[in-house]
Amino acid sequence: DAGVIQSPRHEVTEMGQEVTLRCKPISGHNSLFWYRQTMMRGLELLIYFNNNVPIDDSGMPEDRFSAKMPNASFSTLKIQPSEPRDSAVYFCASSAGTGNSPLHFGNGTRLTVT
């Protein structure tokens, strides 16, 4: 089991540019989550999908953020246009979605917007 795979590991971009983060969940998992980690707020849930359908996007900061899950093995989080305050570590996680099955996190993408 390769675990949750995120790419890229690091992204440095200039303000105003479009950023796309990618995630491959664990095969067979039907729930996928995008979290953002900052020093001040810890891990914040941005959005989660169940069976490829967005269930709760109330954590998405604003319209500059969008997420898609076109199939069970791939999801993207896009920021357009990016701003310096978006700098953070973005984690993708997946779970089997049955009862209280734990979340399995990827190693994150560290985003720096200059």
Partner 1 sequence: DQQVKQNSPSLSVQEGRISILNCDYTNSMFDYFLWYKKYPAEGPTFLISISSIKDKNEDGRFTVFLNKSAKHLSLHIVPSQPGDSAVYFCAASGYFGNEKLTFGTGTRLTIIP
Q: List the one residue from 8, 12, 51, 56 that touches partner 1 (CB under 8 A).
A: 56
Q: Transcribe 25-55 into DSSP letters.
A: PPTT--EEEEEEEETTTEEEEEEEEETTEEE
Min CB(97)–partner 1 separation in Å: 7
**Closest among 48, 28, 44 to 36, alpha carbons compared:** 44
Min CB(20)–partner 1 separation in Å: 19
Q: Phi, psi (5° rounding) for residue 45?
A: -75, 125
Find residue 12's DSSP bridge partners.
112
**With CB under 8 A as the contact rule, which of the stretches 12-20, 21-29, 73-81, 95-103 interacts with partner 1?**
95-103
Residue whose pair of structure tokens reads 């540019």 in the numeric block: 17
Min CB(42)–partner 1 separation in Å: 4
**With CB under 8 A as the contact rule, which of the stretches 20-28, 32-40, 70-78, 80-88 interacts with partner 1?**
32-40
d(CA 54, CA 51): 8
Pairing of strands 42-50, 53-56: antiparallel
Q: Is 76 in the site for partner 1 (CB under 8 A)?
A: no
Q: Is 41 in the site for partner 1 (CB under 8 A)?
A: yes
The footprint of partner 1 (CB under 8 A) covers: 4, 31, 33, 35, 39-45, 48, 50, 55-56, 91, 93, 95, 97, 99-108
